[in-house]
Amino acid sequence: MDSRRRLQFGSSANPATDGGALAAKGVVVVSFNYRLGIFGFYAHPDLDTEAPSGNYGLQDQLMALRWVKANIAGFGGDPDNVTLFGESAGAMAVGILMASPLAHGLFHKAIGQSGAFWDGKHGPLQGFEEARARGLAFARQQGNGSIAALRSMPADRLNAAAPWSFRTSPVVTAFSPSIDHHVVPDVPARRFLRGEQMHIPLLAGWNAAEEVPFAPQSLPDQSAKAFVAAAAEMFGKERIADFLKVYPAATDVEAKASAAALNGDTVVGEQCWQWLRLHRREGRAPVYGYHFSYTSRYTPIASHVTDIPFVFGSLTPQQVIGSTTPPAEEDRALAQTMMSYWVNFAAHGDPNGSGLPPWPAYDENDVVQILGTKIKAHRNPQAARFRFLDSFRQDGILPMRWREVP
């Protein structure tokens, strides 16, 4: 699964996720589409009388996985050795499905790139009542308010009535995954905390500059004073001294850098780190973590999604950061290394292999594989920041009051 742009738009036809280069390394690559936005994640009490509503996109993914299990042998694949992998919202879906009882037995290894639990700056994913209240409010906004009336609307008009952009968090402003007590029985992070997830090998990580496409969601950063005030509102005045130790703001320039770092951490990074930690604590399956920090003329900043062309070996233009510079030999070399890691993990549950820099399993030392201009194992460079954010989780859940943070 690719990012599907926060579960709102996109398709598997994206040239960046062409599976040809991966398939050439000996794996069978299956990419599938699923319902998005209002069509994939609309919840409403009247729909619940037909079947549990709210997570149709996730149910599509489960159906695709059942198809793979039933049919992949005919394409040379092994139905008992399926690796589910995705990036951004795709990685969120992988984490959610690992915590879903309905997914047990449908895949045997998981890879998550820049996503984990669909939680972050605005707290956990929607609760059951919250999702249905949002669905009722939307129906009333359309006039009639009934499911029959919504179904009579043209699809493009219905989709246009529920817009979303990168300026806001889809957790609070879009139709997105919710606790439906069917596919998603509880907050995914809490399921992992209790050891209720699928105990399968996991490879997951995040990029050094995840915040780039999400810049509009940052706390105010026009000055150090504005940033510190917003941070005090979010984290509490009693914690501001601890906050400033990891997100310093002695000057306006420093505050702007810290605001960007905090944005990347809350939108993506910290939950990826939680995924590694919570899955490892059970000790029932191997876990491997990474930090993608690679830059070059082709990829001048390790932004969100810039890892995708390397994982697929497609090396398409890095449009999210406005780069049209073609890849050079060092970019092609990294793509070959990353593809080999991913294929080895899919085949054996271990990314290591002949000729590759050693990648140690993730453990209590918080060592991750740095995928940069040099590839090496190193202590998590964002550990102090993540530990601060982790201190706000209660029973695995981030504060609901963060819903009100601008």
Which residues, 6 or more positions from 119, have their beta carbon under 8 angstroms from its beta carbon? 125, 171, 187, 188, 189, 271, 397, 398
Q: Which structure tokens are listed for 67?
A: 């198809």
Region 257-282 average pLDDT? 97
Highest mean pLDDT (candidates 168-172, 215-219, 261-265): 261-265
Region 165-186 average pLDDT? 86
Active site residues: 88, 210, 304
pLDDT above 90 for 282:
no
Distance of alpha carbon 361 from the chain centroid? 21
Q: What is the DSSP letter of 236?
A: -
Domains and CATH numbers, the chain: 4-404 (3.40.50.1820)
Highest mean pLDDT (candidates 149-158, 163-172, 370-379): 370-379
Please tell me whether residue 136 adopts helix, strand or coil conformation.
helix
Cα distance between residue 174 and residue 165, in whole Å: 9
> For residue 263, which of 206, 189, 179, 322 has the smallest C-alpha distance?
206
Cα distance between residue 167 and residue 301, in whole Å: 20
Secondary structure (DSSP) of 7-75: HTS--TT-GGG--HHHHTTT----------HHHHH---HHHHTTS--S-HHHHHHHHHHHHHHHHGGGG
pLDDT for 46-90, tens place per residue? 999 999 999 999 999 999 999 999 999 999 999 999 999 999 999
The rounded mean pLDDT for the chain is: 94
pLDDT above 80 for 167:
no
Angle between helices 252-264 and 224-235 (to 10 degrees): 40
Which residues, 6 or more positions from 126, have their beta carbon under 8 angstroms from its beta carbon? 43, 54, 134, 171, 176, 177, 178, 179
Residue spans of alpha helices (H) in 145-198: 147-152, 155-160, 170-173, 188-193
